[in-house]
A = this chain, B = another copy of it.
């Protein structure tokens, strides 16, 4: 479990020849070793060709075999233990408890997709038996199942070095679907990525998976990622990151001779709406809890509460008066990378220059941290917000903006003017129910998840989760990148007409294995 600065093409671990990337410890500014020489065009070609060669053999594995593979990956990652946590802390500045929790979440996610595979519903089996006597025309025997799209390119995210990275949700759901995966490791945490990549490769070997089912490449700049997205073997892309990054990959994928789907989870400011009765009843509690949510992980969450909406008045003043000292007492935190720190500082500066913006409070600033995050809270009037699209730009980090509305009608107007979001949060009491009923249809059209009396940070990995939403929250609102429905991103339906039973895939045979749910002639059969 030593780090050697290697890439992985299938089982082949090797030092590439390109310009090296080095992780930076964002707390100390220290450059970490080893360096990771970047892949060249030939490496990308090799990894993609191998993934293409592995595809038919990999998709021919049984769901049970893939379930065991995913569980073995989880086992191998768990076995990395402290080594993984320590390297993760050095590379990301995230605290130990968070990384241990994220490791658990990552392994839990892999195991959950193993359960999905065993449950079988992901195949969406549909059978319309032949009706040879039907008039005026007989019906053929028609059977449908889902098959995997093909090799998938996955881009690791900076802010979840485990759960949205090398063996994160995109990789887990793509492997579950039967797609080989080529990961472009994030340059901010190559050591963490190499450790996890080695774990996946060991699991592939232990489970005798086809060579090339998994590869891990590094590279400075955008060349490796662009080459991956353009490669003809790649059939889908998973990405979590900035709006500009996601949009660039989407454009690239669509300009291919054969366009492919890109699942980019990009930007969201996650409005939190304080309904009047709830605000009146517990303004102070809400103010303090809000700052707690805002500061989590230095605000470096896709679901960070970047916008607070409320009707102006005494209750909102109480909320602000509770939030302000909590903001001012917020200690400096470490951001993930020097680049993210710089973008945060620019975002804060740009927001504070907008007409009508007031800075309500700033957190502590005195710190030796190399890539610091100083918490910021702004406020503005709804009319100013409505007149200025720039105020909707995501500031990635612990910054938030309170929108003061004249009344609930204007608050609804602000909601209607919002871009697509991952989440929309409501704090409400029973007396707010009627007003909420008018807001819900607006929020449903703008968000993938609507939550009540909680905070958007914290994304459960389960069947019902949606971590998605309309553009620009994601590039494809029909999907989720967290939760079991994520598997559907990497599948497509195929219909088999009048195939002899012996040629049908197992789940479509006239007498299928037990326990596969099928829709037969319009009726659900367990």
Contact = CB atoms under 8 A, between A and B. Distances in A.
Nearest to A429: B500
A115 B476 CA distance: 28
A56 to B, nearest CB: 5
Contacts of A458: 137
Contact of A453 (B147, B471, B498): B498
A466 B121 contact: no
A464 interface: yes
B464 A121 contact: no
Counted per complex, copies of this chain come to 2
Given A254-B254, A436-B503, A441-B60, A466 B451 contact: no
B463 A126 contact: yes
Contact of A475 (B250, B259, B468): B259
A463 B519 contact: yes
Contacts of A368: none
Contact of A471 (B142, B259, B494): B259
A297 interface: no
A466 B450 contact: no
Given A462-B142, A463-B144, A522-B463, A493 B470 contact: no
Interface stretch (A3-11, A390-398, A477-485): A477-485
A463 B142 CA distance: 9
A444 interface: yes
Contacts of A226: none
A354 to B, nearest CB: 20
Interface in A486-500: 488, 491-500
Contacts of A436: 503
A420 to B, nearest CB: 8
Interface string A495-526: 11111101100000000000001010110101
A142 B451 CA distance: 9
A464 B127 contact: yes
Nearest to A497: B451
A451 B143 CA distance: 10
Given A450-B494, A485-B493, A498-B453, A144 B250 contact: no
Nearest to A478: B492
A111 interface: no
B261 A250 contact: no
B522 A119 contact: yes
Nearest to A419: B258
A128 interface: yes
A437 interface: yes
Interface string A449-473: 1111110001010111110101110
B495 A450 contact: yes
Counting chain B CB atoms within 10 Å of each CB, the highest count among A124, A441, A445 belongs to A445
Counting chain B CB atoms within 10 Å of each CB, the highest count among A127, A472, A494, A517 belongs to A494
B150 A494 contact: no
Contacts of A329: none
B449 A503 contact: no
Given A121-B519, A128-B462, A522-B119, A448 B503 contact: no
20 contacts: A59-B441, A121-B524, A137-B458, A250-B259, A258-B472, A259-B471, A259-B475, A448-B492, A448-B494, A450-B495, A451-B499, A452-B497, A452-B498, A463-B519, A464-B495, A466-B493, A466-B494, A466-B495, A470-B492, A524-B526
